[in-house]
Each structure stands twice: as C-alpha cells, then as structure tokens.
Amino acid sequence: MIDHDSQFLKLQSYLDGELSAKEKTEVQDWLAKDEQARLLLAELQNTNGALAGYEAGIKLPESREFFWSKIEREIKRESEAPVSRAPFSLVAWIQRHLVPVSGAAVACLALLLVLQFSPTGNQTGEIELSSNDMGVATYRDQQEKLTMVWLYDKSDSEFTDSQSADSVQTQ
C-alpha cells in the first residue's frame, strides 16, 4: 500500500497533469476504489480553483534577459573595481593592537591587586615544632574570626602519648 505522503504527491501530480500514462491509469484505478482519495482530489481541485484567480501575471518593465544582464554587469563592475588600501598609520596600528593588549594587562593587574590585598579565610600559618615533646592545641571561633594556638610541653602533661585517659587513676 502507498503511504500517505506519496498518495498526496501522486494526487497533486495527477491534478497538475504531470504523470506518465501508466501512472495516470494507476491513479484513476485507485480513485475508483478509494472514497478518501476521491475526497482528497476534490479538495485539491477546489484549492487549485480558488488560488487560480489570485495568480496575477507580474510584468516587469524590462525583459528578463535585460534584467539579468544588468545584474551580471553590476557583478563584473564590482569585481573589477580595485581595492584601495589605506596608507599605514601608526595611530591606527596602536588602536588596533596595543589598546586591547593594554586593556587585558590592566585587567590582570587589577585582579592581582585584589587577590594580593584581600583577606582570605584559608590563610593558615605553619608551626614547626622543634621537639617531639611539644604539643599543639588549636581553637577556632568562626563567628569572631578568631584562631588561638596553644603550644605545650608534653613531658609536663598528666597525659602523654604512651598513656591513654583510661589508664589514669583518679584519687
């Protein structure tokens, strides 16, 4: 069976008289058997008749050949016209090349200055303990933006690395 789009195209071609004799007889046989095809053909004929009155013959003030020769002459005239180059100008070269580069350099410098002088939350100082007997305790208060670091001597502590808090006896 023929799909819907090809059926529609066959009917349009039949209506316009563009089919071969063999295809024309096939479409006529199909129209004799199929009511939907006849209704579609009638709709196409009505549409064709309605549009036929609105096809106005547009008359150009000149002949077709003259119109296209004008276009061809204009194309040749534009292609033959010499392309003039402006003389070298140092000011134009600076505007074209150095202004964008200097703008990018200023933007990079501004970004560097902002990063250099802005406080960041991830700045941490390094502490190097000179002895294994030294310990560190850190207290951070995010609300107050405060960090306190205590250094203590582990040997003076009641708790050492070798003892756990469970091993200490209370008195």
- Per-residue pLDDT of 78-90, as tens digits, reads 887 777 777 888 8
Q: What is the DSSP string of 50-71?
A: HHHTT------SS-HHHHHHHH
- Per-residue pLDDT of 91-108, as tens digits, reads 888 888 888 899 999 999
Task: Render the burial of 97-112: b for 16+ CB within 10 Å, e for the rest.
Answer: eeeeeeeeeeeeeeee
Residue ranges covered by each domain of the chain:
4-52
Mean pLDDT, rounded, of the chain? 80
